[in-house]
Amino acid sequence: MPNFRLTLEYDGAGFAGWQVQAGGVRSLQGELEAAIERVTGVRTRVHGAGRTDAGVHAEGQVANLTLETTLAAPALQRALNALLPPDLAVVKAEIAPDAFHARYHALGKLYRYRIWNAARPSPLRAARVWWVKPALDVAAMASAGALLLGTHDFASFQAVGSDVASTLRTLTRCDVLAVPEPQVPEPNARGEIEIRVEGSGFLRHMVRILAGTLVQVGMGRREPGSLPAVLAARDRRAAGPTAPPQGLTLVRVAYSDSA
Amino acid sequence: MPNFRLTLEYDGAGFAGWQVQAGGVRSLQGELEAAIERVTGVRTRVHGAGRTDAGVHAEGQVANLTLETTLAAPALQRALNALLPPDLAVVKAEIAPDAFHARYHALGKLYRYRIWNAARPSPLRAARVWWVKPALDVAAMASAGALLLGTHDFASFQAVGSDVASTLRTLTRCDVLAVPEPQVPEPNARGEIEIRVEGSGFLRHMVRILAGTLVQVGMGRREPGSLPAVLAARDRRAAGPTAPPQGLTLVRVAYSDSA
């Protein structure tokens, strides 16, 4: 039975998150499983690499599913894209080795968090950014982010009520960068700031709590050097607020055969 | 009475166009005039540099209005942004010379038309691009676009039923460029194509008809060298289809004091 590996892009605004939930809410897994059933007549479980939360976007989420079908991967991709709603698409479909599992075999994930840092709102960016009005010190945010690199207990950066065996995670990248200015000259424009976080795995809300904490550093409410103490506290209350979901995008998932 | 010059950003999806119309449809001019009346108690006419159509976006539309008020420009900007809906914002507000008129004094406008050229849809781009599936020849489109530079009778590139004194217009820029690929590697990705058109003034639907015609060139349905004949025909039927509005953005308006 072929094991299909799908790369997915979606606009998270209209979804209650990745996972199928009770109560008929709209989930990415649910939309995919329904479309697959319409194409093939078979109901099968779709396994996602990461369970993105409600409102979080993806450019390169990965999922796999085994399916009794004679359809080749490109034909399955075309058929699914013809049936899926406009806010969810299959970027790529491939046949994976039988043992491939999108979640268990993921070696790492890259997330991007976008901030619109300006006194005035940006209608063309609103659906993809967190609008932060006070001027942020990007250099301070970058030096704070660098202190999170490596393997640490990230319990302080985990949503309250989560239940995982270990809160140890490894961050291999935590960059904070100012994005080039828009073409319209604006005297008070501070522009976009992007946080790029890559790691072996992430706790629930981890990237958003990290973004919320770095924004407090950028505002001068926390010292960049205070991040090791936040980690050491192993207490959600030691970190900053959870940044809103619309700024977050799962950019890609890494496996041993695809950097 | 101060003459305010406003620079505006908007997501065109929710508007029936720039201009106030009968029947209570939502217009940019109408939303602005209503917000100004709420701030100052005065109903005044807002003059836009260009009458963008329904669904067309702007990063740098310019408008002016005269208003009996003691509010300084930055205070007016803040007050308007606090009242305006999330799909419309004032990027900049300044006091202009008494005689300044956003439309009559505009020396030129820069538009951007975005195309998503790939076999599969892109949910994160859908609201801002025209999705064209067949692979486009960007070099052919660019050479066709270059033939439109200069002063010509653009009657073939005007919406049917328009009534203007002259259809002579001058294009100073008509670039077609492939935008750098996304971060997710895709075997069949062809990516984004951007058309940038700058000129002294534009006829109704001109940029969109131009984009529709260049896309036919990119598909191989028209020769790049056929563009002068399209101009010479002075007949809407000689040009290609009108590209959809969501791909179009008014980037900036030039005046003698601001390149």
Question: Which pLDDT tens digit goes with each residue over A171-181?
Answer: 999 999 998 76
Is the predicted pLDDT of residue B81 greater than 90, yes or no?
yes
Q: Output the pLDDT for position A220.
A: 97
Is the predicted pLDDT of residue A202 greater than 50, yes or no?
yes
Q: pTM of this prediction?
A: 0.92
A182: which chain B residues are within 8 Å (Cβ-Cβ)? 59
Give the Å distances, CA to CA, from A47 to A24, A92, B123: 19, 16, 21
- Report the percent of chain A where pLDDT is more than 90: 89
CB-nearest partner of B120 from A90, A128, A185: A90
User: Under the phi-then-psi rule, with left for phi > 0, alpha for psi from -120 to 50, and beta for the rest, what region is A187?
Assistant: alpha
Structure tokens that stand for A211 in this block: 């973004």
Provide the residue type at A141 as one letter.
M
B90: which chain A residues are within 8 Å (Cβ-Cβ)? 120
Is the predicted pLDDT of residue A257 greater than 80, yes or no?
no
- What is the widest separation between alpha-carbon atoms in chain A? 60
Residue among A200, A206, A10 nearest A105 (CA): A200
Residue among A208, A226, A240 nearest A12 (CA): A208
Is the predicted pLDDT of residue A184 greater than 80, yes or no?
no
- B122: DSSP letter: -
Segment holding B141, helix H or strand E: helix B138-146
Is the predicted pLDDT of residue A61 greater than 70, yes or no?
yes
CA A94, CA A72: separation in Å to the nearest integer?
9
Structure tokens that stand for B125 in this block: 């781009």
Query: How many CB atoms within 10 Å of residue A24?
Result: 8
Query: How many CB atoms within 10 Å of residue A86?
Result: 13
CA A31, CA A8: separation in Å to the nearest integer?
12
Roughly what angle, to the nearest 10 degrees, separates helices A73-83 and A28-40?
Answer: 110
Provide the residue type at A86 as one letter.
P
- Asked if B11 has any chain A CB less than 8 Å from its own CB, the reply is yes
Residue to substitute from B81, B124, B133, interface A, most A β-carbons within 10 A? B124
pLDDT digits (tens, 9 = 90+) for B150-199: 999 999 999 998 888 899 999 999 999 998 765 555 554 579 999 999 99
- B212: DSSP letter: H
CA A90, CA B123: separation in Å to the nearest integer?
10
Which chain A residue is nearest to residue B84, measuring alpha carbons? A121
Angle, vertex CA A219, rays to CA A173 and CA A226, nearest 5: 55
CA A250, CA A112: separation in Å to the nearest integer?
7
Residue to substitute from A10, A184, A250, interface B, most B β-carbons within 10 A? A184
Q: In the annotation, is B98 catalytic?
A: no
DSSP string for chain A:
--EEEEEEEE-GGG-SBSS--TTS---HHHHHHHHHHHHHS---PPEESS-PBTT-EEEEEEEEEE------HHHHHHHHHHHS-TTEEEEEEEEE-TT--TTTT--EEEEEEEEEESSS--TTTGGG-EEE-SPP-HHHHHHHHHTT-EEEE-GGGS-TT---S--EEEEEEEEEEEPPPPSS--TT---EEEEEEEES---TTHHHHHHHHHHHHHTTSS-GGGHHHHHHHT-GGGS-PPPPGGGEEEEEEEBTTB-
Q: Output the pLDDT for position A259.
A: 37
CA B250, CA B108: separation in Å to the nearest integer?
11
Rounded to the nearest angstrom, the minimum Cα separation between A121 and chain B is 6
* Contact residues, A window 206-245, toward B, CB-based 8 Å cutoff: none
Mean pLDDT confidence for A218-235: 97
CA A167, CA A152: separation in Å to the nearest integer?
8
Contact between chains at B183 and A60 (C-beta distance less than 8 A): yes
Which chain A residue is nearest to residue B188, measuring alpha carbons? A92
Looking at the DSSP bridge assignments, the partners of residue B178 are: B193
- Asked if B123 has any chain A CB less than 8 Å from its own CB, the reply is yes
B94: which chain A residues are within 8 Å (Cβ-Cβ)? none
Is the predicted pLDDT of residue B234 greater than 90, yes or no?
yes
Looking at the DSSP bridge assignments, the partners of residue B174 are: B197
For B59, counting Cβ atoms within 10 Å of its Cβ (0-12 exposed, 13-18 middle, 19+ buried), the class is buried
- Asked if B122 has any chain A CB less than 8 Å from its own CB, the reply is yes
Q: Output the pLDDT for position A48.
A: 97
- In angstroms, what is the C-alpha Rg of chain A? 19
Residue among A117, A106, A219, A108 nearest A169 (CA): A108
Q: Which residue has the higher pLDDT, A259 or A46?
A: A46
Q: Report yes or no: B107 and B255 within 8 Å, Cβ to Cβ.
A: yes
Residue to substitute from B59, B111, B184, B250, interface A, most A β-carbons within 10 A? B184
Q: Which residues contact A82 (CB under 8 A, 6 or more apart)?
A: none
Is the predicted pLDDT of residue A140 greater than 50, yes or no?
yes
Q: Which residues of A are catalytic?
A: 53
B88: which chain A residues are within 8 Å (Cβ-Cβ)? 123
Contact between chains at B126 and A87 (C-beta distance less than 8 A): yes
Roughly what angle, to the nearest 10 degrees, separates helices B73-83 and B28-40?
Answer: 110
CA A15, CA B34: separation in Å to the nearest integer?
34
Q: Output the pLDDT for position B163.
A: 84
Contact between chains at A81 and B252 (C-beta distance less than 8 A): no
Contact between chains at B91 and A184 (C-beta distance less than 8 A): yes
Rounded to the nearest angstrom, the minimum Cα separation between A113 and chain B is 15
| pLDDT band, very low/low/confident/very high, at A186 (cuts 50, 70, 90) | low
Which chain B residue is nearest to residue A111, measuring alpha carbons? B183
CA B254, CA B259: separation in Å to the nearest integer?
5
Q: Output the pLDDT for position A182.
A: 53
Rounded to the nearest angstrom, the minimum Cα separation between A258 and chain B is 10
- Asked if B9 has any chain A CB less than 8 Å from its own CB, the reply is yes
Q: Output the pLDDT for position B161.
A: 87
Is the predicted pLDDT of residue B259 greater than 50, yes or no?
no
Q: Report yes or no: A225 and A107 within 8 Å, Cβ to Cβ.
A: no
Q: Output the pLDDT for position B189.
A: 55
Mean pLDDT confidence for A187-209: 89
Q: Report yes or no: B249 and B197 within 8 Å, Cβ to Cβ.
A: no
Instruction: Please identify which residue in the block is written with the tokens 């070099």.
Output: B139
pLDDT digits (tens, 9 = 90+) for A16-38: 999 998 888 999 999 999 999 99
Q: How many CB pairs under 8 A join A and B?
A: 95
Instruction: Please identify which residue in the block is written with the tokens 């131009």.
Output: B210
* Contact residues, A window 79-108, toward B, CB-based 8 Å cutoff: 81, 86-92
Q: Which residues contact A229 (CB under 8 A, 6 or more apart)?
A: A238
- Asked if A186 has any chain B CB less than 8 Å from its own CB, the reply is yes
Query: How many CB atoms within 10 Å of residue A107?
Result: 13
Mean pLDDT confidence for A152-158: 97
